[in-house]
Structure 1
Amino acid sequence: MSSGNWGDLRARVLSAVVMIAVGAVAIALGGAVWSVLVVLVTALMIWELARITAPDDSPEKHIAAALLAVLSLGGMLIQGGPVMLLALFIVPLGFAFTPRRMKWVAVPYALAIMLAGAGLVSLRVSGVTPLLWLLAVIIVSDVAGYFAGRAFGGPKFWPAISPKKTWSGTVAGWIGAALVGAGFHLWAGTPAALIWLSPLVAFAGQLGDILESWLKRRAGIKDSSNLIPGHGGFLDRFDALLLAAMLVFVVQHLVYFRAVGAF
């Protein structure tokens, strides 16, 4: 192995260790510590998306988008209440009314990032178990999909968008996710609904991975940024978690609104 490759591997491993350690401590502590971490990562994702879709804008405009994400998501978390959910639409609206590439993707993607941030905080409020379930679904579905795809191959899932993903790997990811849901139901006492929800969450994660890869290809870039040594950017690392957390947040609130008779 060349010294350059070894340096890349070392940076990748060290970054992974730091991310896991910081994430584990924040999840364990919960409360303000977890919320601040989520808000920070959400803002950095918005910053990356702003740079990808409006590369000709000044750095100050990209930073302004990130600060707006901090204010809107932070304000929603501090104030609380269903009405404050509207604050999550501020950043996407900013994307909609400013010149940028691929606006038809950038605007909903910005909304997905904001909803995911709110979802990750909301899950931790309910305890550690729901958050661990979400992370387990993403990790297991990704690992199962990788090995099944390598072992069985077969038809491509979406060749025009993601040439490497196969149907065998995709379905294996769903099966692995369902097993995670069943395991949490049996051993952690979570609702049985997680058994069927888990594959949907896994599918959302798979779409998140595909979408981010497509966005980078259209923009002609390899990584969303270089903020994480050896890994690229935060969108590169958390693309699957992003859409999965967004789906869970939406489902949570649909259940809540139905429970209170909103529809």
Structure 2
Amino acid sequence: MRQGGRWDDLGERLGVGAVVAAIGLACVWVGGVVFSLLTIVIAGVIVWELVRMLDRTAPAGVIAIGSAAALAVAEFLPPGYALPLLLAPVFAGFSQLAQRRATFAIFTLLILIAGFGLNVLRVDFGFLWMMWLALVVIVTDVFGYFAGRFIGGPKFWPRVSPKKTWAGTVAGWVGAAFVGGGFAWYTDATTQLVPVSIAISMASQMGDIAESAVKRRVGVKDSSSLLPGHGGLFDRFDGMLGAAVFLLLTEQLIGFPPGSAG
């Protein structure tokens, strides 16, 4: 019975995760308006989930629609014009919450920057490197899930994320290193892509931990119940949020893809 309890969510988790990943990668491959619409919808839903967690009295739907609308307009403007629009929903929503305003402001800003930035990355680097980013995040999650349950051991931060272990955390880095090595071999990027992939994996895990901290603070298990086995979109995309923001902040510093002529 105890063993079964550890794996009773596996089938549902893998099935829903596979569908979400397939839809996401298909939209990344198509690019253009299709990918923009995906990021707009996901960002809007995540903001809705965030507001509902932080303050049940706040108009979550209105704030989410306003955030999605601002992102939709921003994605079709030059970056300089887009930046104020990405900040506007943060100020508007800030005035509507009665509590936890700082948490709302920080996370909403990161969500909208990630949504906007993913489109920039798709245009600048193309499908191949967006697939690399997605695979690093997915492999980090999958390796961490299985290693955490097979190996167990010391918890990473039990007070915030009771199920996350050091074994799962390190396994995520190992999986990311394999993805980076594979892409370095397949492309003209150098082996620096391996440690870059590990860093992206770490940023993905920090996104997961940050969301877990918010949920622990407000006393909820999941951001919503939209995705069986996963919770909400915030629960599913928290790692991508951390990874995307980190890549946006560092890709100019490392000359991404490292060593690549393209």
Task: Provide TM-score, normalisation by structure 2.
Answer: 0.82
Where do residues 40-51 of structure 1 align in structure 2 (5 Å cutoff)? 40-51=41-52
- CA apart distance, 1:132: 0.7
2:168 alignment partner AA? G
Give the 3 Å change call, closer, same or farther, for CA 251–9 of structure 1 in structure 2: closer
C-alpha RMSD of matched pairs (Å): 2.6
Higher mean C-alpha displacement, 133-142 vs 77-86? 77-86
Task: Tell me, in whole angstroms, the C-alpha distance in 2 between the residues paired with 1:51 and 1:124.
Answer: 30
- CA apart distance, 1:28: 2.1
Where do residues 60-79 of structure 1 align in structure 2 (5 Å cutoff)? 61-79=59-77
Give the 3 Å change call, closer, same or farther, for CA 177–100 of structure 1 in structure 2: farther
- CA apart distance, 1:230: 5.0
- CA apart distance, 1:9: 8.7
Q: Deviations over 1:6-58 (max 9, x none)?
A: xx99976775564344323312211111111111111111111111112012x
Aligned twin of 1:147: 146
Task: Tell me, in whole angstroms, the C-alpha distance in 2 between the residues paired with 1:246 and 1:217.
Answer: 23
Query: The residue matched to 1:41 in structure 2 has which SS?
Result: helix
Task: Tell me, in whole angstroms, the C-alpha distance in 1 between the residues paired with 2:108 and 2:87.
Answer: 9
* Contact 1:178 1:199 (C-alpha < 8 Å) held by counterparts: yes
Give the 3 Å change call, closer, same or farther, for CA 43–167 of structure 1 in structure 2: same
Aligned twin of 2:246: 247
1:49 alignment partner AA? L
- CA apart distance, 1:133: 0.6
Aligned twin of 2:185: 186
- CA apart distance, 1:146: 2.8
Query: The residue matched to 1:78 in structure 2 has which SS?
Result: coil
* Contact 1:181 1:195 (C-alpha < 8 Å) held by counterparts: yes
* Contact 1:156 1:165 (C-alpha < 8 Å) held by counterparts: yes
Task: Tell me, in whole angstroms, the C-alpha distance in 1 between the residues paired with 2:18 and 2:39.
Answer: 18
Aligned twin of 1:39: 40
- CA apart distance, 1:105: 2.2
- CA apart distance, 1:89: 1.8
Aligned twin of 1:216: 215
In structure 1, runs of 5+ residues without a counterpart are: 1-7, 257-263
Aligned twin of 1:260: none
Task: Tell me, in whole angstroms, the C-alpha distance in 2 between the residues paired with 1:166 and 1:222.
Answer: 18
Task: Tell me, in whole angstroms, the C-alpha distance in 1 between the residues paired with 2:142 and 2:19.
Answer: 21
* Contact 1:216 1:222 (C-alpha < 8 Å) held by counterparts: yes
Give the 3 Å change call, closer, same or farther, for CA 16–200 of structure 1 in structure 2: closer
Task: Provide TM-score, normalisation by structure 1.
Answer: 0.81
* Contact 1:122 1:249 (C-alpha < 8 Å) held by counterparts: no
Give the 3 Å change call, closer, same or farther, for CA 204–95 of structure 1 in structure 2: farther
Task: Tell me, in whole angstroms, the C-alpha distance in 2 between the residues paired with 1:18 and 1:176.
Answer: 21
Give the 3 Å change call, closer, same or farther, for CA 32–177 of structure 1 in structure 2: same
Q: Identity of paired residues, percent?
A: 40
